[in-house]
Chain A
Amino acid sequence: MEQLIDDLTRGNVTEVKVLLASVVLALAVYQLLLAAVAYGWIRLPFLSAAPASWVHRASGDTIVLLTVAVAAMCVGYYGFDFGDDGGTHAIVAVVLLGVLATKILVVRVGGQLGRLLPPLGVSVLVLLGVTWLTSAGDFLGIA
């Protein structure tokens, strides 16, 4: 697995991981704006709820794929590190994947559970932010 990841990234495992995680975070912030338009919390003169909702779903699917790819690279190459260095990152990342899976489940089930989507979405954004800060942010010298 390690060799496969190393070959795919041509030896730049951390750089590729940081890049993908940053794209995910940027798209997640955009997701918040799209959700706000879709729920009618923000009214924009050039965007209505239906297209915002559709793009929110499409962008969300991309985020899920990229997040799973980053997580697979992270665990496959570096393994689980719950020690001092990667402890916060590993714990927050596991919680993030759990909340993300719950959100997908709620979207699929729908009905009354739909009320949970806004807090779950905000939780995903916050957890993505913390996961990014404790790894990519550290690498880029921001955190």
Chain B
Amino acid sequence: MERPSQGVQLLGSLLAAFAIAAVAVAIVTAKFGPTSSAERELQEERIEQREEAAEERRELREERLEQGR
């Protein structure tokens, strides 16, 4: 098998380094899952919004019940 030119070897080796770095980033990011602070904050925000909406609904229901009496 004939070796490719030095330029191609150089480019190929550099691309391999980039690919290795990209794979490492992908594996580690996948391992993090929803544990990153940004994701956690987003989840907490969503929970808070849901709780506030539920609270508003409860208050509305109570008001309606009082008006009905």
Residues of A at the B interface (CB closer than 8 Å) are 10-12, 15, 18-19, 22-23, 25-27, 29-30, 34, 45-48, 50-52, 54-55, 58-59, 62, 136, 140
Contacts and interface: CB of A to CB of B under 8 A. Distances in A.
Given A11-B37, A48-B3, A18 B20 contact: no
A55 B19 CA distance: 14
B37 A47 contact: no
A18 B29 CA distance: 10
A12 B36 contact: yes
A55 to B, nearest CB: 4
Per DSSP, chain B at the interface is helix
B49 interface: no
Interface residues of B, number: 26
Contact of A140 (B10, B20, B31, B41): B31
Given A12-B38, A15-B32, A15-B37, A26 B10 contact: no
Nearest to A6: B37
A58 B10 CA distance: 11
Contact of B37 (A12, A30, A52, A140): A12
B16 interface: yes
Given A12-B37, A26-B20, A27-B20, A55 B25 contact: no
B29 A19 contact: yes
Interface of B: 1, 3-4, 6, 9-10, 12-14, 16-17, 20-21, 23-25, 27-29, 31-32, 35-38, 41
B15 to A, nearest CB: 10
B17 A54 contact: no
Given A30-B17, A52-B9, 10 more contacts: A23-B21, A25-B24, A26-B21, A30-B20, A45-B1, A46-B3, A47-B9, A48-B3, A55-B14, A59-B17
Nearest to B6: A51
